[in-house]
Amino acid sequence: MNTTATRHQVHIASDGQLHIDTEPQHVPDGVDPSQVSLQVLHIEAAGSGAPALAEIRDDRSNSRFDLQVNPDGSTQAPGSTPTPTLTKTGTGSLRERLSAAQAAGRAHDFAAAIPAADDILQQLTAELGETAPETLEVAQFRADLAFLSGDFAHATASWTWLALAWFDRQGPDRRSSQEAAGNAVAGWMLLPPAEALDGAPALISMLLEIAAPERTASMRTKILLRANQIAEHLGLEPLEAP
C-alpha cells in the first residue's frame, strides 16, 4: 500500500466552481465548495493510508495556502507523520474491498461506494466493536459519502456520533473529535427546516460534551439562531440555550 503523501491542486473559482487537479467536482446546492474539497481529500488520504497534501487557491477570498488532510479526517499544516489506517493494517480481503469502495467514492459512484462502505462497517462493528479505531475510520468514510451524495441527515447523525466516539477514545484535545463536530454542524446547516429543528438539541448537547463550552460557543449560537428562526416560522416554542 502506498504511504507517500500525494499533493493535489485545489482551485475554488470566484463563482464557487471547484476543481481538484483540474477535474471538476460536483458541489451540492447550498454546500460550500471548501467543505466538498475536504471530504474528497479525506477519501483520498484514507484510501492511500497517507496524508493528502493540497495547495488550495480560493479566488473568492483571494487566498492561497497549503493544507494536510490526514487519513483520520483531521487537518493541519503540512509536515506530520501519517496516521496508521485500516487500509494498511486490515486483512487483505478487507483492504481490497475498502480500497474499491474508496475509489468509487472518489469517482462519485455512490451507488457502488455506499453499499460497500455499509457492508465493511457492519463487519468491523461485529468483529472489532463500534468504537474501535478501524471502525471509526470507516464510519468517517461513510459520513463523507453521505455528505458528498447530499444525504445531510445521515452525515450529521454520523458525525455527531463520531465526535462523541473519538472524544471518548482520545480526549478533548485530539483533532479527530473536533473535526467531526465541525462537520456535524456543517451538515446540520444544510438540513431541511423540520429535520434541523428536531436535530438541534442533540447537536448542541454534543458540542457541550466534547469541549469546554467557550470553545463551541459560536457554533452553538449559530445553531440556536437558525433553530429558533425555524421554530418561529412554524409557530413553535423557541429552544432555550443550555
**What pLDDT is recorded for position 51?**
86
**pLDDT for position 188:** 94
Closest to 8 in 3D by CA, of 61, 60, 45, 36: 45
Q: Is 225 helix (H, G, I), strand (E, B) or coil?
A: helix
Which residue ranges in the chain fall short of pLDDT 70?
A: 1-5, 79-92, 172-174, 212-213
Alpha-carbon span 63 to 73, nearest angstrom: 23
Can you tell me whether residue 133 is helix, strand or coil?
helix
User: What pTM, to 2 d.p., does this model score?
Assistant: 0.73
pLDDT of residue 71: 80
Amino acid 4: pLDDT: 54
pLDDT at 201: 93
State the Cα–Cα distance between residues 209 and 225, nearest whole angstrom.
20
Q: What count of other Cβ atoms lies within 10 Å of the Cβ of residue 97?
A: 17
75 DSSP β-pair partners:
69
- DSSP state letter for 66: E
- In three-state secondary structure terms, 130 is coil
Residue pointed to by grid coordinates 461506494: 113
Question: Tens of pLDDT along 88-111?
Answer: 444 558 888 888 898 888 888 999
- pLDDT value for 82: 43
CA distances from 7 to 2, 36, 87, 88, 129 (A): 13, 17, 19, 20, 34
pLDDT at 92: 53
